[in-house]
Amino acid sequence: MKDPITPEVFAHLVDLAALELEPTQAEYLRLQLNHQLKAIQELESIPLESNVEISAHGVPYTAEISPAPREDIWKPYPEPADIIKQAPATDEGYIVVPEIPHITLK
Amino acid sequence: MTEYEAIIGLETHIQLNTTTKIFCSCKADSWFDPPNTNICPVCTGLPGALPTLNKAVVEKAVLLAKAMHANLLPLSYFARKNYFYPDLPKGYQISQYDKPIAVGGFLDMPMNPANGQSYIRHITIDNMHLEEDAGKTRNEPGRRLIDFNRCGVPLIEMVTGPDLRSADEAAQYLIRLRQLLRWLGISEADMEKAHLRCDANVSIRPKGASHLNPKTEIKNVNSIDAVKEAIGKEIERQTNEMEAGHKIETWTLEWDEDAGVLRKMRSKETEADYRYFREPDLLAIRMTDEWRNAILEGFPELPLERRARFIEDYGLPEYDAEILTGERSLSDYFETTVKTYKGDPKRVSNWIMNDILRMVNEAGKPAYELKLTPAFLAEIIQLVDSGTINTSTGKNLLGKVETSGRAPSKIVEEEGLAKVSDDSAIREVCAKIMAASPNETASYKAGKVTLIGWFVGQVMKEMRGKADPQIARKIMEEMLSQ
Amino acid sequence: MTMNPCDQSAVELSKLLRRKEISAVEILESALERIDQVDGRPGTLNPGAITDADKQKVHSFITLTAERARAQAKEVDRKLKAGEDPGALAGIPLTVKDIFVLKGTPSTAASKILANFISPYTATPVSRLEAAGAVTLGKVNLDEFTYGSSNESSAFQPSPRNPWDTHTVPGGSSGGSAASVAAGEAVLSLGTDTAGSIRQPAAFCGVVGVKPTYGRVSRYGLIAFASSLDCPGPVARSVEDAALMLKVMAGADPSDDTAANIPVPDYLAELEKGVKGLRIGLSPDYFRITYPDPTSGELLMQAISPEIEASVRRAASLLKEMGAEIIEDVPMPNTRYGIPAYFVISRVEAASNLHRYDGVKYGFRTPEPTHELRDLYKKTRAQGFGPQPKLRILMGMYVSAAQYSEQYYNRALKVRTLIRRDFDTVFDKNGAYRLDALLTPTTPTTAFEMGAVYGDSVLMQYADQLTVPANHAGIPGLSLPAGLDSKRLPIGIQLLGADFSESVLFRIGRAFEQATETDAWRKEKPGVLAS
């Protein structure tokens, strides 16, 4: 059986995932992915009647047990500076990242 | 040269004017806040933080859905839209996908071109999504600065069908939408502050054709002028391309308002596999009949309906009806005044359009906050109609009532502003003026009859405008001729 | 080694504290002393060689917060002295899986990408435990972002080892939690269970682990793996302690919309009600596992370890003697689909949950120069994530891509529905089975050797086959020790119940403990304590 996740498909996934991989790690991960996919393929053989709905959660969230939506009341977070302090690069309260290139149309 | 028509669909993002953000208790509006000060673990996507849905967001969406004739789904769900961008702290936007809050809907938009036939454009709505806003980024040479204050501000994304046919129609749609949002009180809809944002999908085709050509998406067309200008430019560009025999490519463009140019965005960042899936951190929104009915209690008549009714019921010209329904509080003001006044609605319209509108603009507050209430305005017009005061006294009264908040009739009485048509009172003043002005009297009697205007002016001045000028003139002439 | 305070139960320590026979500081010092004896060096990013000496230690911790704990213990003692209520867990030493954020401490998820993240806020379950007086000793190790069943994938090495035999794994992903409680480093631990991550290590380490009903405990502050499956839960040495801890943690939370709006019962009050009249089922589908051959992909069926099956059957007969009704041959036909469905659902959610780690807002950012943003993302994520997160991200990307999501993701969510139906059928009060609980093994084997499975992501995943159905279905599960196998490694048995039926599971578990109170294995100590 041919591996569904070819090096080309794999390279696309790596790009989508915003990763870059050493060749040896890439090959190990691609092999593992194809192994996992074999396990996953078992799903395709499961007979599913048309009345089977998807379950986003296992527990059915009935109206009775679902919490009411939050009231629209402002509660300021006491220490926003502690959040920004975690950023690797900041300047005058802003978080700093490298630029994102653009092309201007004629 | 082939004649082309434009096919335009608008994707609008409407910022709701809730107190707090959609998924956390930070305040929604941080217009005046320094960067990254109106934030919390939830809206900055800290590890472990979870969203909690703001009830008011759903309520405002229900109002808009009703106004757009859209169908509310009994169960709607949030979904994650996954992509990398530095203003999106979680790496996904919580939005809606296959089960949005409302689907379908339409707006019938009257168009009155400056030179041409009026017509109605039927604009369909695909769906309405609830979602969270992203932060703001600022470009600097070689780097980008990020501010998360806006993250999590509640938005409704409302997408039209490809139903608009010109840049003018697109602009008019935004004007009508802005009017509606303010009317419903669900958004400040200030485009300058990005409360109402717009992306436009534009394609062209030979006039009369029924197929759809590839379209471009223009991002960030965020003012009425920008919509006109950017779409106009893009139609022109596509026309030139097509005329040159080129294919239109499905690009994503960005409108740079300052430079007035379209820029092509890099394809990397527009790669559209968002891998939507249902947001496991939030439950379904259960739109029960009970909740919906409670939200829709007291739902107002809408601006276009009211505009039509003003024309129909009050015989107003379209121009008046348009202005008077421009804003809900003004239109309420007009109608309450008409009902109290009981006379010709056009007369009320004239007073409002000539004077009240100016007062509202100068005061910078809605009409219902004026101390000059509709009842007071009706009273003033009635005082003029009955001849108790003259028109100029009436106009002066507007300001006096607005300043003092006191009833017009009280002011007329206390300040003795009523018109004097009693002959004897006027005769007395005429005699006094003749006695005080022997030279002028002599000149008049010698034949300089043009001096009558001066004499009447003196009478009016002496009587502080209360005299009926017609009667004053008649008496003065009579006495000068004796 | 004599009975130290840290080896006592939380319930017993609470009594001693309230009788002023011991102080919170004394309890704490006993736990710190035990940590000093058995834990060895904590996990770090740059551990150097793992020495033979390392291999004799437990290595539960990533971050030990002894001074913070001392302040908490002193506060408990102050309250006791002042006659104030110090809370239901006053003075009880607690470890917290380092997947929960705790204000002012590193909250790492055992990943390099969060190694330097100091959380500005505290997770709801942790703040509830601390509000009840629990004394937090620190953050314990786990598989990186909980992705594993052995703890070997932690970026912080040496990774935890099984206190019963330090050449075997403690299980995972709550390995540090189970190991720390088994070794008496703590009395209680807070773990998470996404596919068995509390129950499996609890079974491997011979302690009690509870996966509560989904929504029973708030997830606020739990660094998410698979958000529709993750459940915070207690690890303890007795059912009673686990019940006490869950009572404190559970309940609705204004910060978590999925925390169910259901009152929390007084689990302790119902604990001693016994099992008379309860219907407990045994299912053949839990006495075997199916897994694909790693090379051919062909499905193989294998019976679980006979020693484990014997333990389950013995437990059934003991419960029967105490008045429970045992129902054999309960069909749970969709059990075998749990792992394939889990492969899909958990990867899709994990890939999305890991999007936020990009070097912009917190945690690791690549030290290399980057010329544009995308480059920064790629280098940061490539260097910050270990192989397990990368695998999950890539698989999640693959199965949720637009062209595959119907084939895989939606299909998996439908299979979840089928698994749920299995449980609905047998727990139906008006159905053919009317079960109060299912009794099953927790794991197909006892703890495996370090390195034996690691590296094979498929085989590792199949260790969760008997625990993952409860996560799909959302129902509660309880693992409790039921003996030692011939290698003197703990055996765990599992009780599964209907939604929000934790109190029934506790009752059965408690009854089993009483029935086996005098068993010889209960006197045995983990290997690290045997000297």
Q: For A32-85, what is each residue's pLDDT tens digit?
A: 999 889 888 888 888 888 889 888 999 999 999 999 999 999 999 999 999 999
Q: Which residues of B touch C256 (CB under 8 A)?
A: 50, 52, 281
Find all residues with CB under 8 Å of A78, minimum gap 6, and list them.
none
pLDDT by position in tens, chain C (length 531): 457 999 999 999 999 999 999 999 999 999 999 999 999 999 999 999 999 999 999 999 999 999 999 999 999 999 999 999 999 999 999 999 999 999 999 999 999 999 999 999 999 999 999 999 999 999 999 999 999 999 999 999 999 999 999 999 999 899 999 999 999 999 999 999 999 999 999 999 999 999 999 999 999 999 999 999 999 999 999 999 999 999 999 999 999 999 999 999 999 999 999 999 999 999 999 999 888 776 777 778 889 999 999 999 999 999 999 999 999 999 999 999 999 999 999 999 999 999 999 999 999 999 999 988 999 999 999 999 999 999 999 999 999 987 788 889 999 999 999 999 999 999 999 999 999 999 999 999 999 999 988 777 777 788 899 999 999 999 999 999 999 999 999 999 999 999 999 999 999 999 999 999 999 999 999 999 985
Cα A57 from chain centre = 18
Say yes or no: B290 and B340 in one domain: no
pTM (2 d.p.): 0.92
- C-alpha–C-alpha distance, residues C185 and C4, integer Å: 11
Residue-level pLDDT at C130: 98
Question: What mean pLDDT is predicted for residues B239-263?
Answer: 89
Judge whether C457 counts as a catalytic residue. no
Q: Could you say which of B148, B263, B283 has the minimum Cβ distance to residue A104?
A: B263
Residue-level pLDDT at C73: 98
Residue-level pLDDT at B266: 64
CB of A85 within 8 Å of any CB in chain B? no
Buried b (16+ CB within 10 A) or exposed e, C337-357: bbbbbbbbbbbbbbbbbbbbb
Say yes or no: B244 and B344 in one domain: no
Report strand pairing: C279-281 vs C437-441. Answer: parallel
Q: Which of C119, C159, C197, C238 is catalytic?
A: C197
Domain extent at residue B438: 423-480
Task: Look up the ipTM and state it.
Answer: 0.96
Residue A33 within a domain: yes
Residue-level pLDDT at A102: 60
CATH number of the domain at B442, please: 1.10.10
CB contact under 8 A, B92 and C348: no
The per-residue pLDDT for range B315-343, each reduced to its tens digit, is 999 999 999 999 999 999 999 999 999 99
Higher pLDDT among residues B418 and C372, named by residue: C372
How close C20 gets to chain B, by Cα (Å)? 38
Residue A34 within a domain: yes
Q: Which residues of C touch B146 (CB under 8 A)?
A: 360
Residue-level pLDDT at C1: 43
Closest among B328, B320, B383 to B346, alpha carbons compared: B320
Domain extent at residue A23: 7-45
Residue A40 within a domain: yes
- C-alpha–C-alpha distance, residues C274 and C504, integer Å: 9
Say yes or no: B428 and B410 in one domain: no
Closest among C288, C52, C309 to C161, alpha carbons compared: C52
How close A76 gets to chain B, by Cα (Å)? 6
Say yes or no: B23 and B111 in one domain: yes
Count: domains in chain A? 1
Find all residues with CB under 8 Å of B312, minimum gap 6, and list them.
none
Residue A70 within a domain: no
pLDDT at B242 over 80: yes
**Chains in contact with C, where contact requires at least 3 CB pairs less than 8 Å apart:** A, B
Closest B-chain CA to C223: B48
Amino acid at C139: K
Say yes or no: B190 and B326 in one domain: no
Residue-level pLDDT at A106: 42
pLDDT at B1 over 70: no
Domain end (from B415, B433, B449): B415
Say yes or no: B18 and B81 in one domain: yes
Say yes or no: B151 and B276 in one domain: yes
Torsion, Cα of B36, B41, B43, B49 (10° steps):
170
By CB atoms closer than 10 A (0-12, 13-18, 19+), residue B435 is exposed
CB of A20 within 8 Å of any CB in chain B? no
Torsion, Cα of C200, C205, C209, C214 (10° steps):
-30
Residue-level pLDDT at B269: 47
Q: Which residues of A touch B55 (CB under 8 A)?
A: 68-72
Q: Could you say which of A18, A25, A48 has the minimum Cβ distance to residue C414?
A: A48
Amino acid at B97: Y
The per-residue pLDDT for range B216-227, each reduced to its tens digit, is 999 888 899 999
- Cβ-Cβ contacts under 8 Å between A and B: the total is 126
**Chains in contact with B, where contact requires at least 3 CB pairs less than 8 Å apart:** A, C
Q: Which of C60, C173, C218, C238 is catalytic?
A: C173
Closest C-chain CA to B45: C356
Dig out the tokens for C117 from the structure.
Answer: 């993240």
Residue A13 within a domain: yes
Q: Which residues of B touch A63 (CB under 8 A)?
A: 286, 288
Say yes or no: B198 and B313 in one domain: no
Q: What is the mean pLDDT of chain B?
A: 92
Say yes or no: B266 and B310 in one domain: no
Count: domains in chain B? 3
Judge whether C414 counts as a catalytic residue. no
The per-residue pLDDT for range B284-323, each reduced to its tens digit, is 999 999 999 999 999 999 999 999 999 999 999 999 999 9
pLDDT at B271 over 60: no
How close B155 gets to chain C, by Cα (Å)? 20
Find all residues with CB under 8 Å of C10, minimum gap 6, and list them.
C89, C92, C187, C188, C236, C241, C244, C245
Closest B-chain CA to C109: B47
Say yes or no: B313 and B289 in one domain: no
CB contact under 8 A, A98 and B27: no
Dig out the tokens for C463 from the structure.
Answer: 């260790």
What one-character DSSP code corresponds to residue B246? Answer: P
How close C405 gets to chain B, by Cα (Å)? 8
Domain end (from B369, B392, B415): B415
Judge whether C173 counts as a catalytic residue. yes
The per-residue pLDDT for range B169-216, each reduced to its tens digit, is 999 999 999 999 999 999 999 999 999 999 999 999 999 898 889 999
Residue A105 within a domain: no
Residue A106 within a domain: no
Closest A-chain CA to C386: A25
**Kind and range of the H or E element at A77?**
none
**In C396-510, which ranges are E strands?**
437-441, 477-484, 490-496
Domain end (from B246, B265, B294): B294
CB contact under 8 A, B50 and C256: yes
Lowest-confidence segment of B47-61, B253-267, B410-424 by average pLDDT? B410-424
Say yes or no: B182 and B308 in one domain: no
Say yes or no: B172 and B212 in one domain: yes
CB of C380 within 8 Å of any CB in chain B? no
